[in-house]
Amino acid sequence: MPVMLRNRSPRGYGATAAAAAIVASSLLVLGCGTADTSAGSPEIEGTVLLPEAGSPFVAFDVWVQVGSQDDPEGKEGLAALTAALLSDSGTTEHTYQELLEQLYPMATSYFAVTDKEMTTFRGVVHVDKLEEFYRLFRNALLAPAFRQEDFDRVKAQTMNYLENGRRFQRDEELSKELLFWRVYRGTSYAHPEEGYVQSVKALTLDDVKAFYRDHYLRNNLVVGIGGGYPTDFPQRARADFDALPEGEVARTPAPVPAMPEGVEVVLVEKDTDASAISFGYPIDVVRGEDDYYELYLANTWLGDHRNSFSRLYQVIREKRGMNYGDYSYVEAFPLGFTTQERPVNVSRRSQIHEIWIRPISLTNETDLHDRTLFAIRAAWRELEKLAENGLPREEVERTKTYLYNFAVTFGSTTLRRLAYAIDDAFYGMEKDGFLAEVRPAVQAMTPEQVNAAIDEHFQAQNMVLVVITRDAEAFKKKLLSGEKTLISYAGEQPPEILAEDQEIATYPIPVKEEDIEILDILEVFEGEAPAKAATPAEPTESQ
Amino acid sequence: MQRLLLAAACAVALTIGAGAASAQEDDVGRQADGIFPFPYETFDLENGLRVYLVQAGAPGQIAYVTMVRTGSREEVEEGKSGFAHFFEHMMFRGTDKYPNYDGITEQLGAARNASTSDDWTRYYLVASNEYLAKIVDLESDRFQNLKYAEPAFRTEAGAILGEYQNSAYSPFAVLNREIRELVWTMHTYRHSTIGFEADVRAMPEGFAYSRSFYDRFYRPDNSVLLVVGDFDPAEAERLIREHYGDWKPGYQAPQVPAEPPQEGERKKVVEYPGRTLPIVTINYRAPAWSATDELAVATELLGPVAFGPNSEIYRKLVIEEQRVQFLQPNFGLQRDPTVVSIAAMVSDPADVDAVRAELLGAVEKARTEPVDPKLLEDTKSNQKYGFLMGLETALGTAFSLTQPIISTGGIEAVNDYYRTLDGISPELVQKAAQEILVESGRSLVTLVQGGES
């Protein structure tokens, strides 16, 4: 069975590694780790190894080359539900209860994460407990029992998340999911990994079994092991996984999202005192390709995750105190509110440039929409300035210094280093890898290269905008009117801020009425994506 | 599925306590005198600042952590809830010497941030060890010479409101607020760390108060400094003595009102305005964290033993009957006497009363029968390995020492804690249940979707 790995094009050459560069390979020879080659593990097909002799921990990261993009139509959420069931239920050797009993004294467990293109099963154990843990972990993937009662439990938890939690726990995360849904409509990336309410409701245990049978194949998964394991361990582990059958997996083509034509807007009606905002557009650069590091650096300047010096944060939070933070991304970053660390194992063949404005609160009963629109305008204006003007030399140098130093914190744990190595394999970067490359790449890049990448890939004309707010109809009118939306401050502001406010408050966001769609919160992700610019739904009571 | 996992983890947000229990077993004791595996040095400056220099963690890196033993617990003044956290934000606003704190840490490439809880405020940087001298200079400076003007203060207040709004509407946040307000009548644990919403909205007016906060609480005799990682301890000590020696002591401990004993069960049903399954909680008054008090340590074990994933009640409600989506005991203790809780998300709104009755039945059983000795030993092992697993990074090591530092002023209590835990018997856990899980100290708080109560 051929597996697809992206071949990385050499940096500095003109050719870009677009979708056409994906090559078929009959093997996953991903070889030895980069951390401690002195451990001398032999190369073992279908493994990613990261030996760290003397470490008291052993980390596992088994990568199954399947993701939500592979969900059959009408069965959105199946890949994720399959992985959830495998990671949280009994095996042919143990019931779920017995598993809990055995894992508990080790103070560990394993978990599965399903993203668009990859599903990973991960866990870390103290080396004292390696054999006991590994047996349970292995069985989860190789010997699932598929008991109906386990399925019912996991599905009920999933349904509760889809019907309630996703809509009512974190509006800011929901706005990001809606952004991806809208940018990727009509493609395999459109639906959220967890699926829609209606699609998951219809899933059965037989669906899961079939999905497992078709995708959990010996030649469709990579066994990642890192830390202080015995030298003979990987050979043994890989042999265990080779007990899975071989088979053909039809590879879902990479999505090719259409660039929005002008500004397309999704508004969600919800009873709230604060608006959640995301906007963005597709870009055609992913890790391992030309311009990747340059864009990464330019975006770091614009909106590095949870870092206070970046431009969006400075303009919206630091100087104006409008919200908790403002960031931007050139790679998917699910659950950004939970962590300051970069995500791992969310590798994708298509990415978007995403702006995340954290919730904007009202400060009196009438100013929520003015503040919301002001924040959107402020961020949009910064993006446009960057796209139009590029970065001055000194700003590039300042950001290079930061990123060069900061990158040493990326691989903070064995599991993270291992997960990065898995991502390297996804992107075809196994020779050096992201952690090894990022610092030299940053050091070597010139302002001219950075600005060329900005010029090539960043823009502010075509955009998808998502806002979750109260009285969405009123917000829609305000957005269409183009009216000035000044904000007031609790304290004195210097004249230069007030002068800039005048520009921000009238910054044009050209939207056509037919490009604005309003959804009630209870419609969000209920079923398959509505057609573009559907008739605005009547708001319904959310109680 | 990440998000689903997180939804389950949100249950932990109900945790009112923060204690991290640990255990020691013969087969894992890393040193003869305790579980903490890393060599360290400690010294006190004359001004009262205690310093720990711990050799652990990633090669070439350091975690530099300052713990101030003040959190929202010390916000005793009316209308000033949330200021410990607000003040934490202001600590990034610079000094005369270094007006641009963020700019400097940016150039070091340091991962840095801070967080505030009921009992503490904790600042950290993780950076290459080549910057140790710079970091000592920078951190010692802001703890002694912080300077910010009122306009910047007022602006930052807006960011706090935004932070409040990030999660204010989740059912867990709503429930947590309601539990606090029902359980506490006097003690400052009544308000969450982010503060009452009205107080958060009034924060721009609190400039003078914020300065007094710094003067009273940000003192060396109320702080502990940890450097963890790969560095030369002699050089670190020299730098720290040089830069922190002039920091003036003068911590003014506020009179945190003692909570009178609860005399009778309290009940509340909270209607949530969005969509949610019901959440049943049972809350009990509990003692303060201690490394040596057997009853306190047994209380922390009681939660996972009686209501954790291997308890009978968990097996019945979550796994076999699937009437409950999650069952979460929160039995971590705090600096002051606190509240422990059992929380369950109920699958069928009509089943709320029956589930609560089942949970109360499990409470009664914990009071009347000794716990299974194997489950108790497994729980000790779980706590022990949980502690060890937290030591993978320099920062994780520093953070794992928070509770002993906040409660006792030093890290030595971590080994005391394990020694105590080792000796906890099934009978002691039962005794803790009999003393803690009493009806007169109980508060039943249930969150339901609006219109279903």
Ranges under pLDDT 50 in chain A: 1-40, 530-543
Closest by CA position to A216, among listed A254, A239, A247: A247
Tell me whether residues B273 and A543 touch, CB distance under 8 A: yes
Closest by CA position to B6, among listed A71, A104, A342, A111: A111
Distance of alpha carbon B172 from alpha carbon B58, whole angstroms: 36
Amino acid at A153: R
Distance of alpha carbon A350 from alpha carbon A343, whole angstroms: 16
Instruction: Say what the pTM is.
Output: 0.90
Tell me what pLDDT residue B169 has: 85
SS3 A506: coil
Measured between CA atoms, the residue of chain B closest to residue A343 is B2
Distance of alpha carbon B201 from alpha carbon A290, whole angstroms: 48
Helix (H) or strand (E) holding A225: strand A221-227
B319 strand-pairing partners: none
> Distance from B40 to chain A by nearest Cα, in Å?
19
Tell me whether residues B3 and A173 touch, CB distance under 8 A: yes
The three-point CA angle B178-B179-B182 to 5° equals 85
Tell me whether residues A194 and B4 touch, CB distance under 8 A: yes
Tell me whether residues A104 and B27 touch, CB distance under 8 A: no
Tell me what pLDDT residue A181 has: 97
Tell me what pLDDT residue A529 has: 54
Measured between CA atoms, the residue of chain A closest to residue B275 is A164
Distance of alpha carbon B216 from alpha carbon A201, whole angstroms: 57
The three-point CA angle B221-B227-B231 to 5° equals 145
| Furthest CA-CA distance within chain A | 71
CA A332 to mean position of chain CA atoms: 3
Tell me whether residues A100 and B4 touch, CB distance under 8 A: no
The DSSP code for B277 is -
The neighbour count for residue A192, using CB atoms within 10 Å, is 23
Tell me what pLDDT residue A539 has: 38
Average pLDDT of every residue of chain B: 91
Closest by CA position to A367, among listed A274, A277, A278: A274
Measured between CA atoms, the residue of chain B closest to residue A110 is B5
Tell me what pLDDT residue A22 has: 26
Tell me whether residues A320 and B158 touch, CB distance under 8 A: yes
Measured between CA atoms, the residue of chain A closest to residue B449 is A543
The neighbour count for residue A186, using CB atoms within 10 Å, is 12
> Distance from B224 to chain A by nearest Cα, in Å?
24
What is A185-201 written as a DSSP string? TTSTT-S-TT--HHHHH
Tell me whether residues B102 and A308 touch, CB distance under 8 A: yes
Q: Which residues contact B114 (CB under 8 A, 6 or more apart)?
A: B88, B91, B92, B121, B122, B123, B124
The DSSP code for B120 is -
Tell me whether residues B109 and A167 touch, CB distance under 8 A: no
Ranges under pLDDT 50 in chain B: 1, 5-32, 452-453
Enumerate the residues of chain A whose CB falls inside 8 A of the CB of residue B383: 107
> Distance from B94 to chain A by nearest Cα, in Å?
13
Enumerate the residues of chain B whose CB falls inside 8 A of the CB of residue A160: 7, 277, 325, 345, 347
Tell me what pLDDT residue A42 has: 58
> Distance from B10 to chain A by nearest Cα, in Å?
9
Amino acid at A151: F
> Distance from A486 to chain B by nearest Cα, in Å?
16
The neighbour count for residue A505, using CB atoms within 10 Å, is 17
Q: Which of B165, B314, B351 to probe by mutation at the A interface, max A CB count within 10 Å?
A: B165
Q: What is the ipTM of this complex?
A: 0.90
Amino acid at A34: T
Tell me what pLDDT residue A17 has: 28
What is A335-380 written as a DSSP string? TGGG-SSPP-S---S-EEEEEEEEEEEPSSTT-HHHHHHHHHHHHH
Touching check for A353 and chain B: CB below 8 Å? no
Tell me what pLDDT residue B8 has: 40
